[in-house]
Amino acid sequence: MRFHEEAARDDYDVVVIGSGLGGLVSAALLAREGRRVLVVERHDRAGGYAHAFRRRSYRFDSAVHLVSGCEPVPFEGGGFLHELLLGLGVRDRCDFVRVDPCYRVEWPGLTLDAPCELESFVEAHVERFPKQAKGIRGFVEDCLTIRGEANRAEGQVTPGPLAGPERFPLLLRHRRATLADVLADRVDDASARAALAALWPYLGLPPSRVSFLYFATMLMSYIADGAFYCRGTFQNLADALVASLQRDGGELLLRVPVRRIVVEHGRTTGVVLENGQRVSAPVVVSNADARQTALELTGSEHFPTRYVSRLRAAKPSNSAFVVYAATSLDLADADLGHETFLYPGADHEAAHESARSGVPNWLSITAPTRVDPSLAPPGEHLLVLTTLVNAAAAPSWRDAKDRWMDAMLAHAERRLPGLRDSLRFAEAGTPRTMERYTRNEDGAIYGFDVTPGQVGPGRIDNQTPLPGLFLAGHWTRPGGGVAGVVRSGVRTAGLVTATG
């Protein structure tokens, strides 16, 4: 891929700031409909948190572990990514490998694999907690219903489910509920509730704080649609979107930050690049941090006071500490699948707080070479160890990095004896690493938290009050995670089209 210091022209129909998946989806869809689109990215490759990197003979995904919706399914709103890539003409550029079980959860006294099929998922939990069969089945049915209602609500012209309450009974009933609220209504046993909530790290919040609506749609996206890994890393997914953009006449500019968004006569008129080039465009889509977009790149004086106050009050998500490692251990003998969550017990609230306070007692182990051996040389495997963390948990991540990495490896070695002696490579990423590559405030990995008050109408909308300025990605609707940012890109492109 060639790097250019300047855009090929000085005027476009749309400028997209940032090449995360949300920005790339918007850009590709708008280019597909004939608009002249420029994507500007400060990093040396596209993808945002979906980008991959090489270390020696190893290829690592920076953050994405799984995606869903990669094949047609008979459920409402299913197969979303498959249909999107098909419509863009680049489905054949991504070789998605099915992952089943979706994940494993382990704590002392419990090991449970979560199959990627609705009835099998239910049966796996009922087999472990037979007295909770009715509640488990009811919870999963609630999740599937919520996914369908949320999909209809997101697609309707009149905003918000209140426009047709008879179509969204469960969505309205649970719009302010947390995952813990709904589980408590359905399931009596604490361990059964914890097992059903085991995937909470994928949204960054424990059951008592995460939106049930958002958790339900996320869980069903894997259980109903299937979980997949993109062979060769998820960089191939980002590159497929870039290929669609460029085939339809769009342009991607790498290693060039945006200095500011230009506002004239009360609307956006383009951007100024860090190299000084002024690029005119009546539409600017920002895939960057929402607060930085409004308050730094644009200027708070261009927005209503209420909007600025809302932006300042919104709470960003946690960041993460990640260890990227290569090992000569035989992971098949170790009975380790693609994604394993290691918890000290059934108390997810305490697990979440432990990492935030700087002494993590849980982690997830991702082993992508279990489904794609090409990522490492023969006889070696990749491991990605992840825990959530508040950026303020360490006064200096430069000083704390080695200590945290040692603690993470020691924790993983209790599950994988001999791990540290078998290491061929190890490197860590801290919240400051995440911030450096994405410019997200404190390295936030899910944009704003997906609490009940910050999803749906409670989340910052994709269309800002400033004419011509739109948002895409995990800071805006619908929210974080791969499925969320992809849908945000589709929603943003639709809003741009609707405004002319």
- Report the pLDDT value the prediction gives residue 152, as an integer from 0 to 100: 76
Q: Taken in order 213, 485, 88, 66, is the CA torsion positive or negative?
A: negative
Looking at the structure, tell me whether residues 222 and 288 fall in a common domain.
no
Q: Are 147 and 76 in contact (CB under 8 A)?
A: yes
Using pLDDT thresholds of 50, 70 and 90, give the confidence band for residue 45: very high
For residue 191, which of 127, 122, 109, 134 has the smallest C-alpha distance? 109
pLDDT at 73: 80
Other Cβ atoms within 10 Å of 359 Cβ, number: 11
* Predicted pLDDT at 165: 63
pLDDT of res. 369: 98
Clarify whether residues 306 and 322 are in a common domain: no
N- to C-terminal Cα separation, the chain: 33
CATH number where 484 lies: 3.50.50.60
Q: What is the CATH number of the domain that holds 141?
A: 1.10.405
Report the relative pairing of strands 267-273 and 278-280 from DSSP bridges: antiparallel
Mark whether 330 and 427 lie in a shared domain.
Answer: yes
User: Do residues 297 and 322 share a domain?
Assistant: no
Taking only the tens place, the pLDDT of each residue in 415-427 is 999 999 999 999 9
183 and 128 co-located in one domain? yes
Q: Per residue in 64-113, pLDDT tens?
A: 999 999 998 877 667 899 999 999 999 999 999 999 999 999 999 999 99
Is the pLDDT at 358 greater than 90? The verdict is: no
Residue in 34, 32, 36 with CA at minimum distance from that of residue 14? 36
My answer on whether omega of the bond before 478 falls inside 30° of 0, hence cis, is yes
Mean pLDDT of 175-198: 97
Domain end point (choices 228, 247, 282): 228
- Is residue 7 in a domain? no
Are the CB atoms for 437 and 410 separated by under 8 Å? no
* Total domain count, the chain: 3
Please state the rounded mean pLDDT for residues 365-386: 97
Q: Which of 182, 201, 228 finishes a domain?
A: 228
Radius of gyration of the chain (CA): 22
Across 304-316, average pLDDT: 97
| 299 plus 342 within the same structural domain | no
- Whether pLDDT at 163 is above 70: no
Which residue in this structure is represented by tokens 């049915």? Answer: 141
310 and 323 co-located in one domain: no
Would residue 304 count as lying in a domain?
A: yes
Q: Is a pLDDT exceeding 90 seen at residue 53?
A: yes
**Mean pLDDT of all residues in the chain?**
94
What pLDDT shows up at residue 74? 75
pLDDT value, residue 355? 84
Does position 157 have pLDDT exceeding 50, yes or no? no
- Per residue in 448-485, pLDDT (tens digit) is 999 999 998 899 999 999 999 999 999 999 999 999 99
Whether the Cβ atoms of residue 477 and residue 450 lie closer than 8 Å to each other:
no
Q: In 10 A of CB 244, how many CB atoms?
A: 24
Q: Same domain for 295 and 386? A: no
Does residue 367 carry a pLDDT above 50? yes
Q: Can you give the residue range of the structural domain that contains 248?
A: 14-64+234-314+460-498
Report the CATH number at residue 372: 3.30.519
For residue 171, the model assigns a pLDDT of 83
> Does residue 411 share a domain with residue 356?
yes
* Confidence (pLDDT) at 161: 54
